[in-house]
Amino acid sequence: MSVLGTTVSILGGGFIGLTFVTDLLAESPACRASVWDWAPGIIAWGLLAGGLGSLVRPLRSHQVWLADHICGRLTPSSVQRSKKPNTPTR
């Protein structure tokens, strides 16, 4: 997890929130009247979702590491393969 990657994820979430706000403003005259009441919250939720989404991959990787460590490497990628040389079959 890098600072740049996390920052871009957060900004991406903010962009999605801003897009949602723009869509609501374009579609609903009632939303235009009270835009400052609800728009900052939607953008903030987008920023938060982007930041939390950036944490998913490292947490998932840690979960896999724990499962391998505790369960004795039961994942399919860790199955021992035979060490026969590559010989063509006829």
Q: How confident is the model at residue 76 (pLDDT cuts 50, 70, 90)?
A: low
SS3 assignment for 5-62: HHHHHHHHHHHHHHHHHHHHHHHCHHHHHCHHHHHHHHHHHHHHHHHHHHHHHHHHHH
Tens digits of per-residue pLDDT, 15-50? 999 999 999 999 999 989 999 999 999 999 999 999
Query: Given this model, what pLDDT does residue 53 score?
Result: 87
Query: Given this model, what pLDDT does residue 83 score?
Result: 54
Q: What is the mean pLDDT of the chain?
A: 81
Global model pTM greater than 0.75? no
